[in-house]
């Protein structure tokens, strides 16, 4: 029986922003230093080689200038040993020379090896080994009388190599030192520029979840981006604080609005239980039923409001506008009959009305119409009409709930569309919570529709209208 052991690998920690910025800066600097050093060494080697080659060629010309031909045409080197040593003297290097005739026989000097030379060039340079040492050789073609001669000079390269090494050390080491100092300075300056960002991170990490106060600048802002980040974070905290405050206010209002009908229901129940008269008990039971209905409606409103606040987008689909209006009127027909209110519809008896389609959510549209009709039945007059009308250009459709009640002014209409705000009729009757119109406005916004509440153009009363985008009807078989 074997047991399998699982090992969990922790992800490697991410590098800091300072190190990433320094790494991005360090790599180009190091590569620039390396390429600059290689270029400098190549340049130094070129000029040093040129200088030593010139000196080597001068020695070859010095030998060539002392080659003389006698009366019989024989060529000889007109230098004594002491003169030759003085001409070719070098304290640090070994200098070798040889003079060869055109047939390859040696005229003077040491038996240096004949190297392959480019015969088309008067001067040729080579590097080779002689006596176990690296030497630089030059071959100079010269004509003395009727004879063609080749002067070969060889020079060891210790001084040249030492000079190049010293040039490298004296140039590369100061540049490397400057590079290290520059990297240290960049690390220090980047750290200073990142200090406000680190302070912002520390300030946020030490904060309590309930602390939504703006973040004060703990250090002078070094860059525009860091200051913008702080301001953006403060703006986000301000929006969160407003949202939390709105939620607290909403919760308090909900608690108050729900507690009020519950307290009323309890009072009605206690009053009914305290009387033995069946008529009084029946009356209290009816009042309790009405209070429960109002409380249930309030809870439904609150749930719908919470849903509208949480929803960010709604899936819109073609909805038959006439059918929605007809169903809304039927849902409230009994309530309107009991209240002796004339509830009717307008604009449904045409063929064009039956073809009207709007871009909406059927369930949300039904909730909106219910709110508007209930408001009109509760606060309007003796007549409520749900009207359906298409715009002349066919791009929009209006669904309006019209009543002949006392109405409100333009300012009162705007105020009534806010949460927990009621018009004069609602305040005088003491019914409702001031949520219906705010819910309708929110749901209309979610469905890309317009909600308008205004006094009637003719007579008293209000006109609450919903304007939706029309969906163009397609011919049969059209995609």
Q: What is the pLDDT of residues 86-110, one digit of tens each?
A: 777 777 788 888 888 877 788 888 8
Q: Where are the alpha helices (DSSP H) in 274-409?
A: 278-310, 321-331, 333-338, 351-355, 362-379
**More confidently predicted of 473 and 2:** 473
367 CB-near residues (< 8 Å, 6+ apart): 304, 439, 443
The whole-number pLDDT of residue 199 equals 78
The whole-number pLDDT of residue 386 equals 92
| Exposed/middle/buried for residue 253 (C-beta within 10 Å: 0-12, 13-18, 19+) | middle
The whole-number pLDDT of residue 479 equals 44
**More confidently predicted of 381 and 294:** 381
The answer to whether the CB of 100 falls within 8 A of the CB of 152 is: yes
The whole-number pLDDT of residue 460 equals 79
Average pLDDT over residues 346-361: 85
Whether 251 has a pLDDT exceeding 70, the answer reads no
Please choose, from the candidates 380, 358, 362, the residue with its C-alpha nearest in 3D space to the C-alpha of residue 472: 358
Whether 4 has a pLDDT exceeding 80, the answer reads no
pLDDT digits (tens, 9 = 90+) for 116-136: 777 677 888 888 888 888 888
The answer to whether the CB of 361 falls within 8 A of the CB of 315 is: yes
The whole-number pLDDT of residue 476 equals 43
pLDDT digits (tens, 9 = 90+) for 412-422: 787 666 655 55
Q: What are the DSSP E strand ranges found in 145-264? A: 147-156
The whole-number pLDDT of residue 429 equals 44
Average pLDDT over residues 247-258: 63
374-377 long-range contacts, CB within 8 A, separation 24+: 374/297, 374/332, 374/436, 375/401, 375/432, 375/436, 375/437, 375/464, 376/401, 376/402, 376/403, 376/405, 376/462, 376/464, 377/332, 377/335, 377/336, 377/339, 377/341, 377/343
Report d(CA 269, CA 274) in Å as an integer.
9
Average pLDDT over residues 321-349: 87
The whole-number pLDDT of residue 82 equals 74
Average pLDDT over residues 257-280: 70
- DSSP code of 455? E
Q: How many residues does the chain have?
A: 479
pLDDT digits (tens, 9 = 90+) for 205-222: 888 877 778 877 765 666
pLDDT digits (tens, 9 = 90+) for 385-432: 999 988 877 788 999 999 888 878 777 787 666 655 555 554 444 454
Whole-number average pLDDT of the chain: 77
The whole-number pLDDT of residue 300 equals 63
475 CB-near residues (< 8 Å, 6+ apart): none
Please choose, from the candidates 210, 228, 208, 52, the residue with its C-alpha nearest in 3D space to the C-alpha of residue 138: 52
Q: How confident is the model at residue 475 (pLDDT cuts 50, 70, 90)?
A: very low
């Amino acid at each position: 029986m074997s047991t399998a052991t699982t090992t969990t690998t922790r992800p490697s920690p991410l590098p800091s922003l300072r190190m990433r910025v320094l790494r991005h800066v360090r790599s180009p600097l190091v590569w620039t230093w390396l390429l600059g050093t290689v270029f400098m060494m190549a340049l130094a080697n070129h000029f040093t080689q040129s200088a030593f080659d010139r000196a080597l060629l001068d020695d070859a010309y010095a030998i060539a200038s002392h080659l003389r031909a006698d009366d019989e045409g024989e060529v000889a080197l007109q230098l004594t040993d002491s003169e030759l040593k003085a001409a070719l003297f070098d304290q640090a290097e070994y200098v070798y020379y040889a003079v060869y005739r055109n047939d390859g026989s040696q005229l003077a000097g040491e038996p240096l090896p004949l190297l392959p030379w480019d015969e088309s060039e008067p001067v040729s340079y080579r590097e080779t080994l002689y006596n176990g040492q690296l030497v630089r050789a030059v071959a100079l073609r010269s004509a003395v009388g009727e004879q063609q001669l080749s002067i070969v000079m060889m020079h060891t390269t210790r001084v040249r190599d030492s000079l190049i090494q010293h040039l490298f050390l004296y140039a590369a080491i100061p540049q490397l030192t400057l590079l290290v100092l520059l990297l240290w300075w960049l690390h220090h300056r980047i750290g200073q520029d990142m200090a406000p960002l680190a302070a912002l991170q520390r300030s946020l990490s030490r904060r309590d979840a309930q602390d939504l106060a703006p973040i004060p600048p703990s250090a002078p802002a070094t860059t525009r981006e860091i200051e913008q980040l702080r301001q953006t974070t403060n703006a986000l905290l301000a929006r969160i604080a407003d949202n939390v405050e709105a939620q607290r206010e909403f919760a308090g209002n909900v608690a108050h609005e729900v507690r009020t009908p519950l307290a009323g229901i309890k009072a009605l129940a206690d009053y009914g239980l305290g009387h033995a008269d069946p008529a009084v008990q029946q009356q209290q039971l009816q009042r309790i039923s009405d209070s429960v209905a109002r409380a249930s409606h309030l809870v439904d409103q609150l749930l719908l409001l919470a849903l509208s606040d949480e929803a960010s987008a709604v899936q819109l689909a073609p909805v038959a506008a006439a059918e929605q209006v007809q169903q809304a009127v039927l849902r409230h027909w009994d309530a309107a009959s009991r209240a002796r209110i004339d509830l009717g519809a307008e604009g449904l008896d045409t063929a064009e009305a039956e073809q009207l389609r709007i871009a909406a959510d059927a369930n949300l549209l039904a909730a909106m119409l219910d709110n508007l009709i209930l408001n009109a039945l509760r606060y309007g007059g003796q007549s409520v009409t749900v009207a359906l009308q298409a715009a002349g250009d066919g791009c929009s459709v209006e669904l309006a709930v019209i009543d002949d009640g006392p109405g409100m002014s333009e300012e009162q209409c705007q105020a009534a569309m806010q949460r927990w705000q009621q018009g004069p009729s609602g305040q005088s009757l003491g019914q409702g919570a001031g949520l219906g119109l705010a819910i309708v406005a929110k749901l209309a916004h979610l469905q890309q529709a317009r909600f308008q509440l205004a006094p009637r153009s003719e007579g008293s009363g209000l006109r609450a209208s919903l304007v939706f985008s029309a969906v163009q009807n397609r011919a049969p078989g059209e995609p």
